[in-house]
C-alpha cells in the first residue's frame, strides 16, 4: 500500500509539471490556433536562469526569482515579435508558424548550450529538500509545492477565463479572432498575453522542478513533447483538459515504471493516446474543439 502511494505521489508531481506545460500550450493555441513548440524551452530557461542568478551572480532569493521570471517574459516577447508576428504579417499558415516556433526552440537550446554547456548542473532549491512525512508518505516541501502551485495556477486560470471581462475577450478571440476584432477586441494584445502568461507559468515550473531534476539545456524538448501529448490527450481546446491529460500521462508513466520498467512507459503512453483518439478524436475532454468544428 505504501508503494502505490509513493508511485501515485511521484505521478502527481510529474503530472503537475506536464499539466502546466500542456495548459500553456493549450492556452496559446486557444488564442491564435498555433501550437508553440518552444514552450518547454521557457521551462529550460527558467531552470538555467535560476543557476545564473542564484549561483553565478549570488543574488538574494526574491530578486533572483524576479530576474528569472523577467528572462522568460523577455523570451516570450522575442518569440512573438521575432517569429509569430513577422510570419503572421506575411500571411503564413498556422503550420508554418508552428515550424517557426520549433526553429526558435532549436536556436534557444543551441544558445543555452553555448552558455551553460551540455552537462547537468546543480539548481539551488527555493524550498527545503529535507524529507517530511505526509501521512504514510515521505516527500519534501519542494515536491509538495509543485502540486500546490499546479492547483493554484489552475484556479487562477479558471478565474481569469471565466470570471473576468478580459477572460471573455480571450475566449472570444479563441473562437474567431477576426470576428472578435470587429467587435472591438484587440486580438493581438490577447495573443501577446497568451505568450506572456504561458511563459510566466513555465518559468514558475522551472523554478520548482529544477532542484529535483537538475539543470540541463536539453530538458525543454522532453517537456514540450510531454506537454503536447497532454494537450492532445486531454483536448487542445481547453487548458484544463490539457492539464488533466498531463496528470493522466504521468500517472501511467509512474505505474509502468513502478511495477514494470520505465523503458516501456513511452510506448504504452503513445499506444494509450492512439486508442483514445480512435474513439475521441478531439481528446478526452475536447468537447469545445469538437463543437467548434
Domain boundaries, the chain: 2-292
Strand partners, 121: 215
pTM of the model: 0.92
Q: pLDDT tens, 40-77?
A: 999 999 999 999 999 999 899 999 999 999 999 999 99
Helix (H) or strand (E) holding 134: strand 132-134
Q: Which residues of 242-251 are buried (b: 16+ CB within 10 A; e: fewer)?
A: bbbbbbbbbb
Strand residue runs (E) in 235-274: none
Q: How many CA atoms lie within 13 A of 101 on its CB side?
A: 28
136 and 60 in contact (C-beta within 8 Å)?
no
Q: pLDDT tens, 152-187?
A: 999 999 999 999 999 999 888 877 777 888 788 888
Residue 202 has pLDDT above 90, yes or no: yes
The phi and psi torsions of 280 (rounded to 5 degrees) equal -130, 80
What fold, for 2-292? ABC transporter involved in vitamin B12 uptake, BtuC (1.10.3470)
Q: Which of 204, 166, 230, 247 is nearest to 71 (CA)?
A: 204
Measured between alpha carbons, how far is 260 from 270 in angstroms, rounded to an integer? 17
Amino acid at each position: 500500500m505504501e508503494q502505490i502511494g509513493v508511485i501515485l505521489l511521484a505521478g502527481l508531481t510529474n503530472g503537475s509539471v506536464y499539466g502546466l506545460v500542456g495548459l500553456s500550450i493549450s492556452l496559446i493555441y486557444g488564442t491564435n490556433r498555433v501550437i508553440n513548440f518552444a514552450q518547454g524551452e521557457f521551462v529550460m530557461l527558467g531552470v538555467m536562469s535560476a543557476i545564473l542568478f542564484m549561483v553565478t551572480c549570488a543574488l538574494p532569493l526574491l530578486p533572483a526569482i524576479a530576474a528569472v521570471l523577467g528572462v522568460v517574459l523577455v523570451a516570450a516577447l522575442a518569440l512573438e515579435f521575432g517569429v509569430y508576428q513577422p510570419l503572421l504579417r506575411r500571411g503564413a499558415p498556422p503550420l508554418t508558424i508552428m515550424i517557426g516556433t520549433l526553429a526558435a526552440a532549436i536556436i534557444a537550446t543551441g544558445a543555452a548550450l553555448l552558455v551553460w554547456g551540455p552537462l547537468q548542473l546543480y539548481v539551488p532549491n527555493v524550498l527545503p529538500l529535507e524529507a517530511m512525512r505526509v501521512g504514510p508518505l515521505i516527500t519534501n516541501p519542494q515536491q509538495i509545492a509543485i502540486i500546490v502551485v499546479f492547483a493554484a495556477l489552475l484556479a487562477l486560470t479558471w478565474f481569469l477565463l471565466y470570471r473576468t471581462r478580459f477572460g471573455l475577450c480571450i475566449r472570444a478571440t479563441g473562437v474567431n479572432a477576426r470576428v472578435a476584432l470587429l467587435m472591438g477586441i484587440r486580438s493581438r494584445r490577447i495573443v501577446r498575453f497568451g505568450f506572456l502568461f504561458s511563459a510566466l507559468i513555465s518559468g514558475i515550473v522551472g523554478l520548482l522542478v529544477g532542484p529535483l531534476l537538475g539543470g540541463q539545456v536539453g530538458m525543454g524538448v522532453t517537456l514540450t513533447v510531454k506537454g503536447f501529448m497532454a494537450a492532445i490527450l486531454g483536448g487542445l481546446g481547453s487548458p484544463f483538459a490539457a492539464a488533466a491529460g498531463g496528470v493522466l500521462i504521468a500517472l501511467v508513466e509512474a505505474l509502468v515504471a513502478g511495477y514494470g520498467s520505465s523503458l516501456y512507459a513511452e510506448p504504452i503512453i503513445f499506444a494509450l493516446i492512439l486508442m483514445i483518439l480512435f474513439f475521441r478524436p478531439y481528446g478526452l475532454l475536447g468537447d469545445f474543439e469538437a463543437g467548434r468544428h
